[in-house]
Amino acid sequence: MYKLFFRLVFTRMDPEKAHHLAFRWIRLAARVPVLRTFVAAALAPRHKELRTEAFGLRMHGPFGLAAGFDKNAVAIDGMSMLGFDHVEIGTVTGEPQPGNPRKRLFRLVADRALINRMGFNNDGSLAVAARLATREPVFRTVVGVNIGKTKVVPEAEAVADYVKSAERLAPYADYLVVNVSSPNTPGLRDLQAVDHLRPLLTAVREAADRTSASRRVPLLVKIAPDLADEDVDAVADLAVELGLDGIIATNTTIARDGLGLRSPAALVGETGGLSGAPLKARSLEVLRRLYARVGDRITLVGVGGIETAEDAWQRILAGATLVQGYSAFVYEGPFWCRAIHKGLAARLRTSPYATLADAVGADVRKPR
């Protein structure tokens, strides 16, 4: 049904307009108590065996919504209603900004991929913090807050901009993510170099501790799949050195590998980050490399090209405690989470592992 609807309606609409339409429906459904209870019961059944713990937080399961879908924290209950076990909001920047001019989101349907150059369109840290402060949650959902740099802020003042967001948002975040990996803010990915990353992460850690004195907010960094292998290792080492809680691998890619020849060249040539199926192999590779380096010392979050329960399972075996997705949700629709959960529970049951935690990294730990 969804796929037919997608073909007949969504593919004829501008992708960003389709996103806003679907988003509005989700938010509306979540506001009607009878409807949301019914939808949640149908789409978000909780499998006991999938219960997960990551950086001290308990979740119904390992599968969450990646950053970028709910940039302004307006649909957390709606996404939870659809089955996402955690919701990462953002990227939120220090100051509000409109993002890049439209068109800035493109569907490569034949490749089950998206290209976006949204450019962190968001309401800014003050407005999002106020929204989170007054939110009355319906579902118990872990909320991650992903922060990035305001475009007009010069690179020399980037740390102060992140600190501003961290101070305002950490009090409402179950975990905080420093995003240094979006390809759509000039210079942002240069912050992944350890010389830049060390002072940035240290300052954000201090800001979070200052403003959330009663608890230690878990801090993660989100990295790009385009880092060279030795740079992945360097970030992993730095994360261990700084006592970071997690690494999210990966953001979108500027590469165009993994695309079939089916998507029109004009679309493939659009500037921006590529996500979805073509990203799968590299994201998995980066995750494996990270796990081989950090083992169980740091929690890893696998994201990039996850479409099926098997993909999610492979990420867990490669070292991910949590997995996330975005692009496949656009193609698969509201039953997607349900299928992932069902498939993950079935895989765990027939695996040699007693718990999901036992399966984390099992493929990398295996002697080859």
- Nearest CA to 259 out of 274, 275, 278 is that of 278
CB of 15 to ligand FMN, least distance (A): 8
Judged by CB under 6 A, the stretch of 115-123, 201-209, 258-266, 357-365 that binds ligand FMN is: 115-123
If binding is defined by CB under 6 A, does position 82 make contact with ligand FMN? Answer: no
d(CA 85, CA 65): 8
The CA distance from 302 to 267, in Å, is 27
Q: Would you call the peptide bond into 52 cis, given omega within 30 degrees of 0 as the criterion?
A: no
> In sequence order, what are the beta bridge partners of 301?
248, 322
114 lines the binding site for ligand FMN (CB under 6 A): yes
Going residue by residue from 170 to 189, which x/- string records binding to ligand FMN, judged by CB under 6 A? Answer: ---------x--x-------
Q: What are 1-4's contacts with CB under 8 Å, separation 24+?
A: 2/332, 2/333, 2/334, 2/335, 3/333
Instruction: Tell me the C-alpha distance between 325 and 336, whole Å.
Output: 10
Q: Residue type at 107?
A: R
User: Which candidate in 181, 182, 212, 283 is catalytic?
Assistant: 182
When asked if residue 192 is in the footprint of ligand FMN (CB under 6 A), the reply is no
Single out the segment in contact with ligand FMN by CB under 6 A; choices: 25-33, 76-84, 165-173, 297-305. Answer: 297-305
Q: With respect to ligand FMN, which residue has the nearer C-beta, 36 or 145?
A: 145
Query: Contact region for ligand FMN (CB under 6 A) — 111-119, 130-138, 239-247, 331-339?
Result: 111-119
Residue selected from 78, 276, 319, 361 as contacting ligand FMN according to rule CB under 6 A: 276
Subset of residues 4 to 63 that bind ligand FMN, contact rule: CB under 6 A:
none
Cα–Cα dist 333/5, whole Å: 10
Is 327 catalytic? The answer is: no
CA atoms within 13 A on the CB side of 12: 5
Name every residue whose Cβ is closer than 8 Å to that of residue 310 and which is 6 or more positions away in sequence. Answer: 343, 347
Report the alpha-carbon distance of residue 9 to residue 17 in Å, rounded. 11
Q: Of 22-30, 294-302, 309-317, 324-332, which segment contacts ligand FMN by CB under 6 A?
A: 324-332
Residue 45 CA, chain-centre distance (Å), reads: 22
DSSP line for 35-61: HHHHHHHHH-PPPGGG-EEETTEEES-
Find the binder of ligand FMN among 26, 29, 55, 91 (CB under 6 A). 91
Which CB atom, from 36 or from 302, has the smaller least distance to ligand FMN?
302
145 binds ligand FMN (CB under 6 A): no
In three-state secondary structure terms, 86 is strand
Shortest distance (Å) from residue 362 CB to ligand FMN: 23
Stretch that binds ligand FMN, among 6-14, 188-196, 275-283, 313-321 (CB under 6 A): 275-283
Out of 116, 141, 150, 321, the only residue in the binding site for ligand FMN (CB under 6 A) is 116
Nearer to ligand FMN, 305 or 361 (CB): 305
CA distance 338 to 176: 26
Residue among 100, 141, 252, 314 that touches ligand FMN (CB under 6 A): 252
* Position 306 contacts ligand FMN (CB under 6 A): yes
Question: Which of the residues are catalytic?
Answer: 182
In the complex, which residues of this chain contact ligand FMN (CB under 6 A)? Answer: 66-68, 71, 90-91, 105, 114, 116, 118, 120, 146, 179, 182, 222, 251-252, 275-276, 279, 303-306, 325-328
